[in-house]
Amino acid sequence: MSDTRKKIDILTHERDDYREQVQRLEREVLHLKKELGEVGHKARRCRTVASLVCKLYGALQPQITIDEIGPVFLRLLTETLHIERAVLLIRSSEDNHFIVQHAVGFSVTADTLHLDGEYIRDFAFTNAQSTSDPFLAELEKFLGLPFFLWSYKKEEKTALLLGNSFEDDDSYPFEQDDQKVIESMLNVFIEIIVRKQTGKELRLAAEVFAGSVEGTIITDSEFRVLRVNPAFTQITGHQPDEVVGRKLSWLENEEFAQQVRNSLKKKDHWRGELRDVSKSGADYVSWLNISSVKNVQGKVTDYIVAFLDITQEKYRQEENDRFLEELNTAYRRFVPQRFLVYLGKPSVIDIELGNHVERSMTVLFSDIVDFTKLSESMSPTENFRFINSYLSVMEPVIAWHNGFIDKYIGDAIMALFDGKADDAVRAAVAMLRFLVTYNEGRVRAGYKSIDISIGVNTGTLMLGTVGSPMRMEGTVISDSVNVAARIEGVNKIYRTSLLIGEETYKALQNPDDFALRRIDQFKAKGKSKTVTIYEVFESDPAEVKEAKLESRHIFVSAVNLYHSGQFREASQLFNECIAKCGQDQVARYYIECCHRHLNIEETRW
């Protein structure tokens, strides 16, 4: 009995061991089946990814445009990975809006997806075990599906959103291991876009290079020609095989070459005008631009030389410049060049109504004495001939003394002097001296000699343009101008030829260079202030000038006596002046004035 029991216990123990081994084997078989399933799942995914990558690179075919790559990419994803919906988005540079570029599997109700910048992730997914958060909730709301995958490339600002409404073995439930796969897909897509864009830009560059009207040369870092475009041949006449491999001929001029190299070293470009001769021997002018091309290390690898044929434009510009110069020369006969300079205008065509400037200047007025009576004896033609012959003699005299004629007023001249007042007085003296020679010619021709009177005054005046937009002229406006005209007019009272005002006398740098004397004060019409005037007798005949200088101290005393009311004493001194200089017309004028005052006094008594 005991032996039987023992056998039963042994058999029971063996049975339990077998059961344990069978269970362990069953567990190992299940584990192996699971591992085999995972390997199969991964193998299928790898085959799927490999197939997808091959199909994506097939999108590089030339017939597929850059705008078609996005839809092709999404269709491949949805078909290969059994995805219901797929969206490509680009992040706006200004905010957290993602703009829909392409969508497959549904009609997008909104063109943009707004996400909170704080929650935006590079990768996210949902499956049956996922818990929602604000970021995932926004994606689910936009896509309209519970299961989805999000991948975002921050540097490229590109996002991919995939979604399914259910999970099964065919639809490949989303998981963490998908991150590398999807990111690889996005990288492939972006690489294809970049390649397509680069290819497009290269094709456009080639078309621009070939079709440009600018001659273009590509050289190496030593300025050896690598390539030229058709415009180069059209401008220079040289074929590509005649220049490729050779250094730029323009740089054979060492001075020009050094100038180009210095500019390229400082600014990476040189621009300027170049004159050259074509192969046929024709001169041409081009606008040349040389630019450096550098590698990522900043080393110059090539140069791009672009030049535009501006020969015709240059000729037209030169012709226009010549015409403008001729036009300005013609206008200078009507508008003095100095007038343009004062207004800061390079050309008469730049003048506008109302342009003006304030300056301190000396004004000279001259007039022909008794011109009205003289002109009555001449025909209109003779009048014009006479005036033009006279003015043509006087105008150079004024210019020689740094003045310019502002305007002619019949036989009168109005001239302006911007420099020293001495220039204006010297010009007036020279005019009187040239008048002597001019009169000698008139007498020889059988005409009567003429006299002129000149008035000079200094002060601030306004130069500018007056009139209307349709008709304007340059002029000067100032009380100083009016006073100069009044001074010229009183010459006939004192029987003088040249009078200057007090302001001109004060402005003289070298008053001793001139024979002059103060003769009176007068009040111009409409003015309350008196004007002191001086006679300049520098141009008088030598004997008259010397006599006036010798009696000048007597003359000054006589004038002072006259203005103090001592007419008898003044008359005696003026007579002494006449005794020394019988041609002293101012002294004779004062003697007459003294007699009138004395007669009045005698009449009173």
In a domain, 487, yes or no: yes
161 and 185 belong to one structural domain? yes
114 and 172 belong to one structural domain? yes
In a domain, 23, yes or no: no
Query: Count of domains in the chain?
Result: 4
pTM higher than the cut 0.75: no
Residue 296's CATH number: 3.30.450.20
491 and 385 belong to one structural domain? yes
Give pLDDT, residue 37: 46
Which residues, other chains included, contact 503 with Cβ-Cβ below 8 Å and sequence gap of 6+? 457, 458, 459, 480
In a domain, 298, yes or no: yes
Give pLDDT, residue 566: 92
- pLDDT tens column, 426-440: 999 999 999 999 999
- pLDDT tens column, 40-56: 444 445 455 555 655 66
Contact 469, 353 (CB under 8 A): yes
534 and 555 belong to one structural domain? no
- Whose structure tokens read 């000149």? 454
- pLDDT tens column, 100-149: 888 888 777 778 888 887 778 888 888 767 777 888 888 888 888 888 88
Phi, psi for residue 33 in degrees, rounded to 5: -60, -40
Residue 496's closest CA among 473, 460, 524, 520?
A: 520
Query: DSSP characters for 131-154?
Result: ---HHHHHHHHHH--SEEEEEEET
Inform me whether the pLDDT recorded for 410 exceeds 60: yes
State the average pLDDT for the chain. 79
522 and 385 belong to one structural domain? yes
Average pLDDT over residues 547-556: 91
In a domain, 100, yes or no: yes
Element at 281 (helix H, strand E): none
In a domain, 264, yes or no: yes
Higher pLDDT, 313 or 211: 313
533 and 544 belong to one structural domain? no
Average pLDDT over residues 466-490: 75
Q: Which of 491, 510, 538 is the last residue of a domain?
A: 538
Rounded Cα–Cα distance for residues 252 and 261 (Å):
13
Inform me whether the pLDDT recorded for 207 exceeds 80: no
- pLDDT tens column, 456-474: 999 887 766 665 666 556 5
- pLDDT tens column, 257-276: 888 888 888 888 888 888 88
Residue 440's CATH number: 3.30.70.1230
Residue type, 549: L
Q: Which of 146, 174, 202 is the last residue of a domain?
A: 202
- pLDDT tens column, 370-402: 888 888 878 888 888 888 888 889 989 998 998
Q: Which of 181, 202, 223 is the last residue of a domain?
A: 202
Q: Measured on CA atoms in the order 474, 354, 458, 590, is the torsion positive or negative?
A: positive
Q: What percent of the chain has pLDDT over 70?
A: 76
Give pLDDT, residue 63: 60
In a domain, 221, yes or no: yes
In a domain, 16, yes or no: no
16-30, 359-373, 570-584: the lowest-pLDDT one: 16-30
- pLDDT tens column, 298-322: 888 888 888 888 887 877 877 777 7
Confidence of residue 338 (pLDDT cuts 50, 70, 90): low
Rounded Cα–Cα distance for residues 70 and 159 (Å):
12
572 and 496 belong to one structural domain? no
Give pLDDT, residue 433: 93
Average pLDDT over residues 31-45: 49
565 and 466 belong to one structural domain? no
150 and 96 belong to one structural domain? yes
What residues make up the domain containing 438? Answer: 352-538
Average pLDDT over residues 235-249: 85
442 and 378 belong to one structural domain? yes
Q: What percent of the chain has pLDDT over 90?
A: 20
289 and 151 belong to one structural domain? no
Give pLDDT, residue 554: 92
In a domain, 141, yes or no: yes
Give pLDDT, residue 40: 44
Residue 119's CATH number: 3.30.450.40
- Whose structure tokens read 């000698």? 440
- pLDDT tens column, 9-20: 677 776 767 677
228 and 247 belong to one structural domain? yes
Give pLDDT, residue 287: 84
Most confident of 56-65, 161-170, 299-308: 299-308
Give pLDDT, residue 447: 86
Phi, psi for residue 229 in degrees, rounded to 5: -100, 170
What angle is formed at CA 518 by the lines to CA 515 and CA 521, rounded to 5 degrees? 150
What string of H, E and C letters represents the secondary structure of 53-106? HHHHHHHHCCCCCHHHHHHHHHHHHHHHCCCCEEEEEEECCCCCEEEEEEEECC
